[in-house]
Structure 1
Amino acid sequence: MAILIKNGLVINQKTGAHSFARGDVLIDGDRIIGKGGDLSARAAAFQDLQVIDATDKLVMPGFIDAHMHSNEGFEMGRYDNLPLEIWLSEVYPPFGSPAMSWREHYLRAMLVAIISLRSGVTTLQDDVINISGTPEAVDATATAFRDAGLRGWITASMWDESYCNSLPFVGDLVPADMKARLDAMPAPDWKAQIELFEELSGKWHGKDNMRIILGPCGPQRCSEKLLQEVASLSEARDLPVHCHVLETKTQAVTGEEKYGRTLVQFLKDMGLMTHRLTMNHAIWLTDEDIATMGEARCSTTHNPLANLKLGSGVSPVRRMMNAGVNVALGCDGVASADTADIFVAFKAAAGLHKIGTFDYNDWISAHEVYDMATTSAARSSLMEKEVGTLEEGMLADVILMDKTDWGFMPLHDPIKKIAFSVNSDVVTHSIVGGKLVMEDRKLTTVNENDLRGEIAEAAAKFERDHCPEMSKGAAEVRPYLDQMYDTATTREIGLYPRVKV
């Protein structure tokens, strides 16, 4: 089926500065085949043609949320005033992790998919933290995204280090009996992690708008053998690697304590510091780290909502950009960002970097954030030749925004309006791979009303049946994590003589 988007204000993309011109966009199958001017004559050749009147619409590429954890879907708004490592013990408790059915995994992912689509996200880079180490969580997530019509790039999350070995000082702080319990928890070895990746990749990669990519959870949580195997697979198959790196000062301390070097240097030594690597967060960086990242042309995801919520710090975005690092925008997991609405992350990123320096030439502009959510986000998963712009030959991932919305009056600069004046309700239509998945704010692929009750029931069940046990399990280790946190956050880091955040 062909789609003609008629007479819209269509974006022309130029990095850091974007313009709009009245014209058409023509889609055939899953690709854009024409853009600009009046394309009615070309469109007339198609017998099966849908025409969308975009006279009152802005026409733009769909947003790409470059970092998400949809598996946290039932915990939005549950936590506050907890730093990352202590927050992790609540969301991913060492004792009391919930066992969920395939359908519950599906509904949780569907909740995030619906919120994402309604905010103009057409591609979700989803790092599914799969505690069980079985295929069900990722399989259910990919199925939900497929059913909703969302393009999904899903990491097969990996870790094979024990709980105590992935955190500084904890092994010496916890009592011997607790350490024995923690060390006895089942942890698949590196071969099992790779086998699970291969199983999921074989089922989903390249099918139904899904990709399965490599996701070592964090260098400190992975053995050297696992990281080296990931590096080899990434190179052999030209696959992206998404990995949490230096989100907190505790992680910076971990690098010094565990490896005697920064985590960036450690990743380089493991063969992972390439253009295929995306470092999620990347806050606690040395000048040498940033230079290393720029030389490698690697990417980072900037997740301002989660960084603010967890008190992790402010990513040195301008310094990384100046060094040649590709910076993409992400919401992050919905138990830390507390939303999958990309407009909220967009606004945070456009405002956050205007504090911390009086040199307004170093502030991050709305247009730069727009690039983070489109072209840079595509590059972070090696898909910049497929999505992120509306050029001919690109995949037809297109969104329309209602320019008659009160916040767009007067229109001035539409990108600045997205950053400062409107919310995601302005997104009226979403097209993913040439398929209209939202029309006039109504999803066309799933029945939201039918799903709403089932999702609400599953979320309430999670809160009732699992959250108390999760908190109980977290409480067991909390005193020792508090001691670890106090030690790490007051520690002078020899590797960091001039950390700037």
Structure 2
Amino acid sequence: MSILIENGLIVTNDDAGTRLDPGGVLIEEDRIAWVGPMDAAPEAARLPEVETIDARRSIVMPGLVNAHMHSNECFEQGAYDNLPLELWLIQSYPPFGMPRLSEREHYLRTMICAMESIRSGVTTVQDDLLHIQVTPEAVDGAAKAYDDAGLRAVITVAMWDRPFLDCMPYLRNIVPADLAAELDALPLATAEAQISLFERHHRRWQGHGGLLKIIPAPSGPQRCSDDLLRAAAELSARYDLPVHTHVLESKVQAVTGHDFYGKTLVEHLDDVGMLTPRFTMNHAIWLTEHDIELLGDRNCSITHNPLSNMKLGSGVCPVRRLQESGVNVALGTDGTATSDTADLIEAFRAASMLHKIGGHDFEQWISAEEAFRMATLGGARSTGMRDQIGSLETGKKADVILLDRDAWGFIPLNDPIRQLAFSVTSECVRSSIIGGRVVMRDRVVISLDEAALKAEVAEAAERFRRDHFPKMQAGAKRIEPYVRQVYERCTGLKLELAHDPHRMPPRQN
């Protein structure tokens, strides 16, 4: 099948920053066959079997890449506020009261993120299925949802093999003995069992439909044995896959490295062989100078998640310092129970604005254009697809979005990327093509019956809220006083860092 997008304003996002108006994009099968000015369109673009899309009133861009999110939180949007990471975690991922959902329930929950992603111009998601115990139903349900939606997805099989009480400093010493015994009795899969689960899903889903990818994801170094971390690094090397993990999102995690290992978490990850060009570190806020140097020297990536980092009070990622060190920076929404959205345009807007606060050297601020690169090419590199997605160039995958040039926020049209960041909402995304297939046309998702799906999703979400959420809250309440003590003790300590993560108001020179 061939498609010609003709007479649009083409924002190629190539290294030269090429824009064409009027320009065209020719798609053959799942790849871009030609990009250029309309007066130079090849003969193949005029064949009668080629479907044409009139883009005269459209801005044509590469699809966005959400490099970090958690679809498993989609039934909890709006459930939490004014909680720091550690106290939020025990609410959303309590050791007691966590339900085991059916494959269909996982499918429906994932569909919330899939629909919001497509509608906000996202064509690739990196979905971290974070659970204390990842189940086959969770991965299979998510994979089937993305397959049905037609969304390109990099799905992680999260790994976690350390007991709950051994994942935070001081916690084991302050929890009463009877509660500690209950927590230690909770089932926890061995490292071998988790590697086996990853292998199963990798065999089943890797490359499925040309859209799906399965990668390993240790939840965080403090939640994983060194054996599991080394095994995840070996899987990444053997299959040439990205590996993602949460690191230094909070001050508690910064304290954890010194308490557990006598060094930073980044330094420990380097010791066990995790830091390679395939490695992505999610959040990367509470960093030392040496951490930043290590990440740059090892050619690693990080995901910047400004929405959740603000909502949880975690701090501000030192994006400019990381870029200067050679670290690739991608953009993510994080989970829908922390940012409360899978709309990457909202994260793009936040990343375009947040770094203008806290310093007077405006030449060091992050521009909308730089944030757009994070949301496209940065994410492409983080997901292991730098040469396949993120820009409109010949030979790359045909992941293309069309924005409404007549949206109020684009009038007058001064700069499409800046106005996407500052002036419009995701409602401006009119159509989406993923892997050469039209998935949304004129704001209607045509890959499935959206109205029927929404009704079933709403019923499942209400059932979760009614039947499971109270048990989760009760489970969190049992351990909240002790986690609060850990949080208060850690946040009272002084650390030597490369920057001030809580850098507002600006320092006065």
TM category, shorter: over 0.9
How far did residue 20 of structure 1 move? 4.3
* 2:22 paired with 1:22: yes
2:506 counterpart residue number: none
8 Å CA contact 1:133–1:188 kept in 2: the answer is: no
2:50 counterpart residue number: 49
- Per-residue CA deviation, residues 405-424 of structure 1 (Å, 9 max, x unaligned), is 11001100110001100000
SS at match of 1:81: coil
Equivalent of residue 459 in structure 2, options 450, 457, 460: 457
SS at match of 2:104: helix
1:388 is matched by which residue type in structure 2? Answer: G
Identity, % of aligned pairs?
52
In structure 1, how many angstroms separate the alpha carbons of the residues matched to 2:50 and 2:73?
40
- Per-residue CA deviation, residues 72-120 of structure 1 (Å, 9 max, x unaligned), is 0100111000000110000000100012111111000011100000000
How far did residue 16 of structure 1 move? 9.2
1:61 counterpart residue number: 62
SS at match of 2:13: strand
1:410 counterpart residue number: 412
Q: Say if 1:498 and 1:120 are closer, same or farther in 2 by CA, change over 3 A.
A: closer
- Per-residue CA deviation, residues 414-449 of structure 1 (Å, 9 max, x unaligned), is 100011000001111100000000000000111111
Q: Say if 1:18 and 1:176 are closer, same or farther in 2 by CA, change over 3 A.
A: farther
In structure 1, how many angstroms separate the alpha carbons of the residues matched to 2:296 and 2:42?
45
**TM-score, with length taken from structure 1:** 0.98
- Per-residue CA deviation, residues 182-233 of structure 1 (Å, 9 max, x unaligned), is 1111110100010000000000011121000110000000000011111112
1:149-228 to structure 2, matched below 5 A, reads 149-208=150-209, 209-228=211-230
In structure 2, how many angstroms separate the alpha carbons of the residues matched to 1:234 and 1:153?
14
In structure 1, how many angstroms separate the alpha carbons of the residues matched to 2:450 and 2:347?
24
2:108 is matched by which residue type in structure 1? Answer: L
In structure 1, how many angstroms separate the alpha carbons of the residues matched to 2:20 and 2:345?
20
How far did residue 132 of structure 1 move? 3.7
8 Å CA contact 2:6–2:56 kept in 1: the answer is: yes
* 2:33 paired with 1:33: yes
8 Å CA contact 2:287–2:498 kept in 1: the answer is: no
* 2:477 paired with 1:481: no
1:230 is matched by which residue type in structure 2? Answer: A
In structure 2, how many angstroms separate the alpha carbons of the residues matched to 1:423 and 1:224?
44
SS at match of 1:374: helix
> Unaligned regions of 5+ residues in structure 2, if any?
502-509
1:353 counterpart residue number: 355
2:72 counterpart residue number: 71
1:53 is matched by which residue type in structure 2? Answer: D
* 2:87 paired with 1:86: yes
- Per-residue CA deviation, residues 376-417 of structure 1 (Å, 9 max, x unaligned), is 110012210111111000000000001111100110011000
8 Å CA contact 2:220–2:246 kept in 1: the answer is: yes
SS at match of 1:36: strand
2:256 counterpart residue number: 254
In structure 1, how many angstroms separate the alpha carbons of the residues matched to 2:385 and 2:316?
27
SS at match of 2:208: coil
In structure 2, how many angstroms separate the alpha carbons of the residues matched to 1:339 and 1:331?
7
In structure 1, how many angstroms separate the alpha carbons of the residues matched to 2:312 and 2:239?
35
1:224-235 to structure 2, matched below 5 A, reads 224-235=226-237
RMSD: 1.2
2:243 is matched by which residue type in structure 1? Answer: V
How far did residue 491 of structure 1 move? 1.5
- Per-residue CA deviation, residues 351-391 of structure 1 (Å, 9 max, x unaligned), is 10000100001100000000000001100122101111110
2:326 counterpart residue number: 324
SS at match of 1:273: coil
How far did residue 14 of structure 1 move? 4.4
- Per-residue CA deviation, residues 293-313 of structure 1 (Å, 9 max, x unaligned), is 111110000000000000000
8 Å CA contact 1:375–1:388 kept in 2: the answer is: yes
How far did residue 270 of structure 1 move? 0.5
8 Å CA contact 1:401–1:429 kept in 2: the answer is: yes
1:117 counterpart residue number: 118
1:11 counterpart residue number: 11
How far did residue 44 of structure 1 move? 2.6
8 Å CA contact 2:133–2:160 kept in 1: the answer is: no
1:492 counterpart residue number: 494
SS at match of 1:391: coil
29-38 vs 194-203, greater mean Cα deviation: 29-38
**TM-score, with length taken from structure 2:** 0.96
8 Å CA contact 2:150–2:447 kept in 1: the answer is: yes
8 Å CA contact 2:13–2:62 kept in 1: the answer is: no
2:254 is matched by which residue type in structure 1? Answer: A
Q: Say if 1:94 and 1:168 are closer, same or farther in 2 by CA, change over 3 A.
A: same
Q: Say if 1:212 and 1:498 are closer, same or farther in 2 by CA, change over 3 A.
A: closer
1:379 counterpart residue number: 381
Equivalent of residue 400 in structure 1, options 399, 402, 405: 402
SS at match of 2:401: strand
2:4 is matched by which residue type in structure 1? Answer: L
8 Å CA contact 2:114–2:151 kept in 1: the answer is: yes
> Unaligned regions of 5+ residues in structure 1, if any?
none
1:37 is matched by which residue type in structure 2? Answer: P
1:117-136 to structure 2, matched below 5 A, reads 117-136=118-137
8 Å CA contact 2:13–2:390 kept in 1: the answer is: no
Q: Say if 1:16 and 1:341 are closer, same or farther in 2 by CA, change over 3 A.
A: farther
1:90-109 to structure 2, matched below 5 A, reads 90-109=91-110
- Per-residue CA deviation, residues 272-291 of structure 1 (Å, 9 max, x unaligned), is 11111000000000011101
In structure 1, how many angstroms separate the alpha carbons of the residues matched to 2:304 and 2:466?
33
65-74 vs 122-131, greater mean Cα deviation: 122-131
123-132 vs 357-366, greater mean Cα deviation: 123-132
SS at match of 2:7: strand
8 Å CA contact 1:102–1:140 kept in 2: the answer is: yes
In structure 2, how many angstroms separate the alpha carbons of the residues matched to 1:53 and 1:425?
19
- Per-residue CA deviation, residues 134-155 of structure 1 (Å, 9 max, x unaligned), is 2110110010011011001001
81-90 vs 13-22, greater mean Cα deviation: 13-22
In structure 2, how many angstroms separate the alpha carbons of the residues matched to 1:249 and 1:184?
29
The size of the alignment, in residue pairs, is: 498
8 Å CA contact 2:101–2:137 kept in 1: the answer is: no
* 2:376 paired with 1:366: no
How far did residue 18 of structure 1 move? 5.9
1:215 is matched by which residue type in structure 2? Answer: A
In structure 2, how many angstroms separate the alpha carbons of the residues matched to 1:155 and 1:16?
33
1:239 counterpart residue number: 241
8 Å CA contact 2:14–2:393 kept in 1: the answer is: no
